[in-house]
Structures are given as structure tokens and as C-alpha cells.
């Protein structure tokens, strides 16, 4: 059944339109609160947010929703998504909520939900909450309405936790690091954690004003970071997104390093130290074939899932893996976090940099990616992937790439777009295959 509210990563949309209104947020609070009421104890939820202007509105609406069904609310203010997952567990809360549209610009916002274990909700739990949203939810009697309070030490708790992901003997003295926080949720905690471990920190994107999140800064707009790293003669650049659950790195030469290369480094070092579980890592269908070939060459596997860090996490838990992620920069290190954590992943990269005594350009380029091309085709309605001609073109393209590359076609989970990706050793062949499939999809819409 098609979802009305939840997409691939919670609820997301343009603020004050569609699913992202104050009225909907209040209903989400009521529905999620009702879903997680179990037992006779006093129930509580931890709510965090990034730095969007609309965060105040959505937070207030969620607080109204939760308290109206008898749930106590703890508000943290701006904090990364993984910090909310952490605090949900630490504070024995029944659920956690992060208000963020991740890497989107400020006009969008979103709601991510966590269970009491700090993991994102299953498809089944989201489906049940969707069902409840459109029902008349019983409200708490007046004497049982929930209370709301803000806590002041949330940032310190998170900084302490991420620093604990680094061995006690590791210090970053002598490293010059440019940290770009996207004017988002990590604007205070990420630079502080890296500085406290000894590095010289130069900051970008740490002046949020409610409307500048991800605007020309952060992991989806790294040009400013690339220039600053070269200008400062820095050893490395770190780029987070708006809610700091993803990481992109820039080496000392100003070259971008995506999630595939970061995963290759982390997996290699953990294998060398005997701490990698599962015999490999988990990523999505979008990770480059070059990563898969590299891992195979060192005796590791790459297990692929559909796009979305929640699906990566599900497979990690099923298979006993402790490293997973996405090419886009989500890094899940299960030994330290229950969700993607850009700051913890950054500390892992910086640790490898210190221990290797080699430049970032050397340790962060462990394989040559094969040519990869992704194009999006917008459609107005219908199901173009069910069209017989489109199916035939896709089958021919897969046969052409068989043994030499891959073709991945998927509908977006958040907009009416078909994503067409191909990769292989022959760049011209990859481009031709993608164009043929895109043309077929357009003709079918």
C-alpha cells in the first residue's frame, strides 16, 4: 500500500504544505505517542531538531500532540540526529524524534522517529502510526496530560559519547582540520569534539540563522570547503549535512572523498585491527562497483540493499555487520551508534590519518571508481516502469552490461522521479545505456 506520510527516511516535505504542517505534526505526536504507550510507567519522548526556522513550529506542534495523549516531553534544542538516538536510549525514553529535512534547504522540514532502542522504526511501525494519524485518537484526561521540559546538558552528553568512540591513546595534535557544519545541527558539537581531541579547527557553516542551513555549505555543497582546505593548507576537510548523519571528506589537495572511499578506509583499518564483524560491510545498490572489487581483493564482501540507511541498518543487524553506509555519506558504525553519525565517522577518519602518518589523499583513495552515471526522469503520473517498451529497453541494457557493469533503476521515495544509474568500465557505454533507458521512460509518461 502506498504511503501518505512516511517516505524512505521519516516524514519530509515543504513546510506549511502537504504533510509538513503544524496540524499534521500534532497528529504525528498523538499517533506515535499512542503507538508507544506500553505498560503503566510514565512515558517520555526526546525531541531534537536542526536549525531550520520551521523547527520551532514543528517542535511546538509535536509537543502539543505528545502531551495531549499523556506523554512527557524532553526537548534538547539543536542536536544531530544520532545524538537524539543516543539520548533516547540513555534517558530510558519510549521514543525519540528528530525534526529535520537532512540535506534539504530550509524551506523543507521532516520528522524522524526512533524507538526506545535508538533505532529507526520498522516499516510495520510506521504503517501503524500512519493508520493512527487518520483516526480519532483518545486524549488523556486533564490530570494525566504530559509535561514538557528542556535539558541543558544534551550537547555535552553527545560530545562525550563521540569522543569515547576514539581510543584513549589517540590525539589529533598537529592536525589542521576544516570542519563544515552546513549551518546545521552539529554547528557546536562537531567542532568542539574535534578540538577537544587536540586538532586545530577551522570552521565553516557554524552561523545558523534559520534560513541558511545547507545553503552553499555542507556535504551537498563542498566547493567552499574545498577552497578553504587548500587556502589554509589544512590536512583534511570534514563536511556534514544539516542533521549531521552523513559525512563527505575533502583531502589536503581539495579533492572530494565520498562515502564509498570512506567505507573502504574504515573497513580496511578495522579488518587490520581485527574489529570488523560480518566479513565485510553493507551498503546500497548505489555504491560504486570499484568499492565492491576493492573489498573482494582484500577478502571482504559488500552486501547491497535498497537505498536508505534504514535498510542498510536492517541488513547489518541481520548479518552481524558493524560497518555500513551509503555513497552519499551515511556512515553507520554499530559499535558506537544506532544510526548514521557523520561526526563519529569523521573521528574514525582522523584517527586513521594520525596513525598512518600519511596524507589524506593517500589513505582516502584506496580504489579507482568505475565510471558511474545517474540521471533522474520526472513523470506526471502512472507507472512508467510497468510499460512493456520500458521493460524491454531495461532488459536489453542489463544484458549489454552483464559482466561489465550494473544497471540500477528505482523510483524516488519522496518525489515523482525515476532514478536511472549505470556503471561499468566503458564510460561511453554507460552513458549510452542511461540515455536509452531515460528516453524510454520519458516516452512512456
Residues with a known catalytic role: 102
Q: Provide Rg for the chain, Cα atoms.
A: 22
Helices (DSSP H) in 250-379: which residue ranges? 259-272, 289-297, 309-319, 342-356, 360-363
Q: By three-state DSSP, how is residue 372 classified?
A: strand
Element at 84 (helix H, strand E): helix 81-90
Those residues with Cβ within 8 angstroms of residue 126's Cβ, 6 or more apart along the chain or in another chain: 3, 6, 113
Task: Determine the Cα–Cα distance for residues 33 and 66; give it in Å rounded to an integer.
Answer: 6
Residues in Cβ contact with 435 at an 8 Å cutoff, skipping those fewer than 6 apart: 375
Pairing state of beta strands 72-78 and 44-49?
A: parallel
Beta bridge partners of 57: none
How far apart are the C-alpha atoms of 313 and 340, rounded to whole Å? 9
Q: Of 55, 65, 45, which is closest to residue 15 (Cα–Cα)?
A: 55
Distance CA 429, CA 426 (A): 5
Instruction: For the chain, count helices (H), then strands (E).
Output: 14, 19
Specify which residues 149 forms β-bridges with: 74
Helix, strand, or coil (residue 119): coil
- Give burial (CB, 10 Å; 0-12/13-18/19+) of 22: middle
Contact 288, 370 (CB under 8 A): yes
Tell me which residue of 98, 310, 342 sits closest to 244, measured CA to CA: 342
Amino acid at each position: 500500500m502506498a504511503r501518505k506520510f512516511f517516505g524512505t527516511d521519516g516524514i519530509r516535505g515543504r513546510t506549511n504544505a502537504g504533510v509538513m504542517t503544524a496540524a499534521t505534526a500534532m497528529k504525528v505526536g498523538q499517533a506515535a505517542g499512542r503507538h508507544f504507550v506500553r505498560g503503566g510507567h510514565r512515558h517520555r519522548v526526546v525531541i531534537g531538531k536542526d536549525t531550520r526556522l520551521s523547527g520551532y513550529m514543528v517542535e511546538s506542534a509535536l509537543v502539543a500532540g505528545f502531551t495531549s495523549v499523556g506523554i512527557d516531553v524532553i526537548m534538547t534544542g539543536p542536536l544531530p540526529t544520532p545524538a537524539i538516538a543516543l539520548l533516547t536510549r540513555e534517558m530510558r525514553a519510549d521514543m525519540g524524534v528528530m525534526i529535520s529535512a537532512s540535506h534539504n534547504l530550509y524551506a523543507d522540514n521532516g520528522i524522524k522517529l526512533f524507538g526506545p532502542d535508538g533505532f529507526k522504526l520498522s516499516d510495520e511501525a510506521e504503517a501503524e502510526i500512519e493508520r493512527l494519524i487518520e483516526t480519532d485518537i483518545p486524549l488523556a484526561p486533564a490530570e494525566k496530560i504530559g509535561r514538557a521540559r528542556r535539558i541543558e546538558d544534551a550537547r555535552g552528553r553527545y560530545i562525550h559519547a563521540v569522543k569515547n568512540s576514539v581510543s584513549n591513546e589517540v590525539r589529533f595534535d598537529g592536525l589542521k582540520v576544516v570542519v563544515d557544519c552546513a549551518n546545521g545541527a552539529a554547528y557546536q558539537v562537531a567542532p568542539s569534539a574535534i578540538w577537544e581531541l587536540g586538532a586545530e579547527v577551522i570552521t565553516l557553516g557554524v552561523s545558523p540563522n534559520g534560513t541558511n542551513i545547507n545553503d552553499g555549505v555542507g556535504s551537498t555543497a563542498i566547493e567552499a570547503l574545498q577552497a578553504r582546505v587548500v587556502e589554509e593548507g589544512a590536512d583534511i576537510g570534514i563536511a556534514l549535512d544539516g542533521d549531521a548523519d552523513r559525512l563527505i571528506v575533502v583531502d589536503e589537495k581539495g579533492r572530494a572523498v565520498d562515502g564509498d572511499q570512506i567505507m573502504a578506509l574504515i573497513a580496511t583499518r578495522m579488518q587490520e585491527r581485527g574489529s570488523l564483524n560480518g566479513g565485510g560491510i553493507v551498503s546500497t545498490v548505489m555504491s560504486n562497483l570499484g568499492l565492491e572489487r576493492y573489498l573482494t581483493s582484500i577478502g571482504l564482501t559488500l552486501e547491497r540493499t535498497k537505498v536508505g540507511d534504514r535498510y542498510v541498518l536492517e541488513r547489518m543487524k541481520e548479518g552481524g555487520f558493524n560497518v555500513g553506509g551509503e555513497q552519499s555519506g551515511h556512515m553507520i558504525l554499530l559499535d558506537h551508534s544506532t544510526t548514521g553519525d557523520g561526526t563519529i565517522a569523521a573521528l574514525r577518519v582522523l584517527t586513521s590519518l594520525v596513525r598512518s602518518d600519511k596524507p589524506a589523499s593517500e589513505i582516502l583513495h584506496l580504489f579507482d571508481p568505475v565510471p558511474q552515471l545517474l540521471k533522474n526522469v520526472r513523470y506526471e503520473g502512472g507507472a512508467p516502469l510497468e510499460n512493456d517498451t520500458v521493460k524491454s529497453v531495461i532488459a536489453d541494457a542489463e544484458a549489454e552490461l552483464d559482466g561489465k557493469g550494473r544497471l540500477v533503476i528505482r523510483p524516488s521515495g519522496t518525489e515523482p522521479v525515476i532514478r536511472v544509474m549505470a556503471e561499468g568500465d566503458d564510460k561511453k557505454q554507460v552513458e549510452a545505456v542511461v540515455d536509452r533507458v531515460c528516453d524510454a521512460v520519458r516516452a512512456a509518461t
